[in-house]
């Protein structure tokens, strides 16, 4: 896919941005922990028909600064703000998956003047989890690096589009294929998530918001209801038969949900829903929660 690679520097940390072009209101896409901007190539292909589309390797990931000193939530958020400012995007739509969605949410809460709308894919405010850093450390330690080939990596990551998406993040060295990140920095990136919740920031989000969850993802039905209950004017979509990497596994379903949401923005800057439960053309279940629906 045609794109321009741009470098943006903040406090000595270089961030590599994929500018897919397109015209219209800007969209900035954020990948998850241990991911890379290329995960959004398919999404960018259709989004740029109506939007200017960008994605970037977040700090400590991919082609961006590999070993930044600061991997706090605040640093990740400040990078988003810097990219919007430096590239003179004005108000942007933020789309983020997993940790990238969490970063997008915090950016929307902190700088509502820069965020037109928010799309969270398998992401939410979260609750403290003291085991999270060790779980991430153990997960990364299970990777049989270096992989002997990209095909071996694709198989390890489950095959299909999900396996291919993860394998595409690897770099080839003389002895095999390696991740483009330092495992311990991935662990440090989730330390704050393990210590506190971010529900206050979620309540501060004022822009229209879509939350896309997977039927077999990281969020239970109870967690989804809690997200909607805490900020009622939120459109919730659940994609059946998909896991946490739903943007890779079911890109057509994510496209249907995001396209419908963006087309429905119009002049709606307040984030108010319309109180509906519908089954869209893609077969995904969509709910727009309102205060009345939740009895508030």
Q: C-alpha 192: how far from its chain's center? A: 18
List, for residues 101-143, the tens digit of each pLDDT value. 999 999 999 999 999 999 999 999 989 999 999 999 999 999 9
The pLDDT averaged over each successive group of 10 residues in the chain (296 residues) is 90 97 96 98 96 98 97 98 97 98 98 98 95 98 98 98 98 98 98 96 96 95 89 91 97 97 71 34 43 26
pTM of the model: 0.90
At 242, give phi and psi (nearest 5°): -130, 155
Question: How far apart are the C-alpha atoms of 135 and 119, rounded to whole Å?
Answer: 26
Integer-rounded Cα radius of gyration of the chain: 18
What are the chain's domains? 4-128+199-289 (3.40.50.1820)
Are the beta carbons of 21 and 3 closer than 8 angstroms? yes
Q: Identify the bridge partners of residue 13 per DSSP, sorted by sequence position.
A: 10
Q: What is the pLDDT, as a whole number, of residue 102? A: 98
Residue 149: C-alpha distances to residues 143, 155, 157, 160, 174 (Å): 13, 10, 13, 16, 11
Output the DSSP codes for 179-220.
-SS-HHHHHHHTHHHHH---HHHHHH--S-EEEEEETTSS--
Sequence-distant (6+) residues with CB within 8 A of 135 are none
């Amino acid at each position: 896919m045609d794109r321009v690679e741009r470098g943006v520097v903040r406090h000595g940390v270089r961030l590599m941005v994929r500018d897919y072009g397109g015209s219209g209101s800007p969209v900035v896409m954020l990948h998850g922990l241990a991911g890379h901007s290329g995960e959004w190539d398919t999404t960018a292909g259709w989004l740029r028909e109506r939007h200017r589309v960008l994605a970037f390797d977040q700090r400590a990931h991919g082609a961006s600064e590999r070993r930044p000193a600061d991997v706090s939530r605040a640093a990740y958020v400040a990078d988003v703000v810097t990219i919007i400012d430096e590239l003179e995007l004005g108000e942007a739509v933020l789309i983020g998956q997993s940790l990238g969605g969490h970063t997008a949410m915090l950016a929307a809460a902190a700088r509502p003047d820069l965020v037109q709308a928010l799309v969270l894919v398998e992401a939410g405010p979260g609750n403290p989890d003291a085991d999270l850093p060790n779980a991430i450390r153990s997960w990364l330690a299970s990777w049989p690096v270096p992989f002997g080939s990209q095909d071996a990596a694709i198989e390890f990551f489950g095959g299909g589009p999900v396996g291919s998406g993860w394998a595409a993040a690897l770099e080839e060295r003389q002895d095999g294929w390696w991740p483009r990140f330092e495992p311990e920095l991935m662990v440090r990136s989730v330390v704050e998530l393990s210590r506190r919740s971010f529900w206050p920031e979620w309540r501060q989000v004022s822009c229209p918001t879509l939350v896309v969850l997977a039927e077999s993802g990281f969020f239970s039905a109870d967690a989804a209801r809690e997200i909607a209950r805490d900020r009622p004017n939120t459109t919730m979509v659940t994609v059946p038969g998909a896991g946490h990497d739903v943007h890779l596994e079911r890109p057509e379903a994510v496209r249907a949900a995001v396209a419908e949401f963006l087309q429905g923005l119009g002049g709606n800057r307040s984030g108010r829903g319309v109180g509906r439960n519908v089954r869209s053309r893609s077969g995904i279940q969509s709910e727009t929660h309102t205060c009345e629906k939740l009895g508030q």
